[in-house]
Amino acid sequence: MSDIAVVTGASGGIGAAIAKAIHAKSEGQLTLCLHYNGNAAAAQALSNEIPNSFVVKANLSTAEGRKALLDAVLAKGTPYCLINNAGIDKPHEPALMITEAGFEKLISTNLAAPLFLMRDFAKEMARNESGVIVNISSVLARKAVIGSAVYRATKAALEALTLQFASELGPKGIRVVAVAPGFIETAMTAEIPEEQRAGIKTGVALGTFGAPEAIAETVWHAIENQYLTGAVIAVDGGMAL
């Protein structure tokens, strides 16, 4: 049985970079739980690169999926890190076109999933009085982009939960941090048309989209820095300024 770092959405761009960074920086001391939902091939390919890892499939927008992930982790060892990274940015719905279905989809995946995973994993971490949770937010928690109202609301709420959980869990030896990426080169941003990308870049002080590794580096910093909790760390190239 060993200490486990759980990365949700490890089949995606940012999640894969986070998993690789944790494996490399912890020098293999942490076993990686590589969670995925639909993209089994990506999760398995990543697992082949990381010797002490295992994959778990779960739809985290459901209570059953979240329980399946927790059970799979507990069967292998003790959770030390939970990286709430899985998320979606669609549907894009302008303010007056927001649908109940779109709202439910975004809220269940981007807010209910990390909230209840935090609650349940933190109960396990509290037994050892040791653990760290990192929630992946977004620059859009602080920025209006047409079509992103509900996405923005989920990420702003996730940041609020980060501060609340940090306050309540600190005395139990658990730290909780949020990392808020700007626009990062992954599948999520790949389909943005070139003209729109150019427009977005004019609003970024550093003038480019970021690499997933930039987010992974900061997640590792949050894991490693034992005096860091209740912070929201922007890694956005200066987009939220």
Ligand X SMILES: NC(=O)c1ccc[n+]([C@@H]2O[C@H](COP(=O)([O-])OP(=O)(O)OC[C@H]3O[C@@H](n4cnc5c(N)ncnc54)[C@H](OP(=O)(O)O)[C@@H]3O)[C@@H](O)[C@H]2O)c1
Do you find a cis peptide bond into 91, omega within 30 degrees of 0? yes
Shortest Å distance, C-beta 192 to ligand X: 9
Residue 59 has φ and ψ, to the nearest 5°, of -85, 105
Contact footprint for ligand X (CB under 6 A)? 9, 11-15, 36-39, 59-61, 85-89, 109, 136, 138, 181, 183-184, 186-189
Task: Find the catalytic residue in 36, 80, 151, 227.
Answer: 151
Of the pair 10, 174, the CB lying nearest ligand X is at 10
**DSSP structure string for the chain:** -EEEEEETTTTSHHHHHHHHHHHHHTTT-SEEEEEESS-HHHHHHHHHH-SSEEEEE--TTSHHHHHHHHHHHHHHEEEEEEEE----------GGG--HHHHHHHHIIIIIHHHHHHHHHHHHHHHHT-EEEEEE--GGGGS--TT-HHHHHHHHHHHHHHHHHHHHHGGGTEEEEEEEE-SBSSHHHHTS-HHHHHHHHHTSTT-SPBPHHHHHHHHHHHHH-TT--S-EEEESSS---
User: Which residue has the CB atom at the shortest distance from ligand X?
Assistant: 12
Nearest approach, Cβ of 8 to ligand X (angstroms)? 6
Q: How far apart are CB 50 and ligand X at their closest, in Å?
A: 15
Active site residue 36: no
Instruction: Give min distance, CB of 130 to ligand X, in A.
Output: 25
If the CB atoms of residues 55 and 132 are measured against ligand X, the closer one turns out to be 55
Shortest distance (Å) from residue 188 CB to ligand X: 4
- Which is nearer to ligand X, 97 or 187 (by Cβ)? 187
Output 3 or 185, the one with its CB closest to ligand X: 185
Complex with ligand X: residue 27 or 190, whichever CB lies closer: 190
Active site residues: 151
